[in-house]
Chains A and B, each alone.
Chain A
């Protein structure tokens, strides 16, 4: 059954076949996209018409390749920008939250912690619509009472950032919190005993200890933001993020440029994952 126990041949082979089928199931959509990105065809699927880089570089109206498609490039850039803002904000607040819940004692801590975990079990769609509703109400209230129109309270770039931040911060909190649980609190006390202020002891002792987790959490938050659709769709203004742009294209204008851009994402993620493995190995 396990490494150390003998098994019948039938069992072993059967198990291997199952695992192979699973991995085929897992990788086949991604492999298919990667291959078809080089298909010299105007349709997203088969038949194979030969190798071509048109869907990356071609600049004709009939075949608008990825690097010529300005709208697509803009939405990629919007997603990167959004991701960076979300990652920065959620890393900051998520780390604060981890430090707050691990190290401080205060009233209603349990309730607050429950709220901080809530985004884990609130469907993204719900977060999207409730933030849309409430920010719109807040916008109307402010306009009615103070006569100030705040564009960002309607569907907009910043609303997307805050919407994604609302749940990314939870993931950061959990990732950083897990590392903080392994932190030896006497190190902080030692810093205090050596005349460092509370803030200095956190900055010079706790944060360096948390650094790997904080960097990891930043990357995770960026990736979650970069691929989010369910929440984003309700909050988005005129700047489309890549997933929303892809969705619109899948629904309304299917061209193989989708294969090309998907290939780029897959490549990027794979490289990042491989780097991550090598960095972890080194330690």
Chain B
């Protein structure tokens, strides 16, 4: 090996500090804390109690399952809703306007989740814009309850995450040569065939990265379920949040956090394996 020059150390020391102090050490500590349990004598001991209580109390593991299933379903929904848009913006609309349309996509992302979720709260509340509008039109007499339901929670989660699906899918579609679609059409393929046999397979890497981003954002979200979801719309992050900030039982919260991390890692790993993607591509 060549002798290392100073520059190498200049680069690697801050990077190591970042990764060790802020990524590795905290997660090791999270793992260790999850086994700490205060027994009846008030002494902290190592135990599986934090994990056992997860399985003993059905509200916990039911919420866990619910969160997982909802996250997967909303991720699929995000794909279904945004794919035609991504295709439209890359292949259909004239290039003159496409940058304007893409700009519109970016604004909600940068404005931030809190503001957009708040916007949905105004829209969906009993005296909100949608109900007022419907009453004004005479379609309904009394407001439909939309806020604080699973419906409003799904809308919120979908809204704040779907744009992270569009962007990678668009960049994947950008590299699809138009002549492939023209050729398929020339050979007599129907639109449906072209979409399922050519467009979607080509966009698969983008769909996978987008899917992972969206899934991760939804499963780890707190704002949308908490602000838009009702009392019955429990989300697993809310339980973690409660252990940390309300009932102050950190090791129990750590155990739940670790379970969430395992769940999301397992699903992401599975998707990466299934689609043959590399983690590296997810960020790009």
Which A residues fall within an 8 A CB radius of B? Answer: 1-5, 11, 15, 18-19, 22-23, 25-30, 32-33, 36, 43-47, 92-93, 96-97, 99-100, 104, 106, 112-127, 129-135, 137, 162-163, 165-166, 169-171, 174, 178, 198-199, 202, 223, 226-230, 233-234, 243, 246-247, 250-251, 258-259, 262, 265-266, 269-270, 272-274, 277
Contacts and interface: CB of A to CB of B under 8 A. Distances in A.
A262 B23 contact: no
A229 B6 contact: no
Nearest to B82: A22
B19 to A, nearest CB: 5
Contacts of A227: 110-115
Interface string B73-107: 00000000110110010011010000101011111
11 contacts: A15-B92, A29-B116, A33-B119, A47-B132, A104-B8, A104-B11, A115-B23, A129-B254, A134-B29, A199-B7, A229-B112
Contacts of A163: 22
A130 B29 contact: yes
A126 B222 CA distance: 11
Contact of A250 (B15, B81, B227): B227
Contacts of B115: 30, 33, 227, 246, 262, 265-266
Given A33-B115, A96-B14, A118-B23, A123 B129 contact: no
A251 B227 CA distance: 7
Contacts, number: 269
B127 A198 contact: no
B107 A273 contact: yes
Contacts of A246: 114-115, 118
Nearest to A124: B220
B276 interface: no
Contacts of A5: 181-182, 185
Contacts of B237: 123, 125, 230
Contact of B27 (A106, A130, A262): A130
B261 A123 contact: yes
B284 interface: yes
Contacts of B280: 113, 117
A2 B264 CA distance: 37
Nearest to B100: A277
Nearest to B7: A198
Given A36-B122, A127-B26, A230-B221, A1 B257 contact: no
Contacts of B120: 29
B53 to A, nearest CB: 17
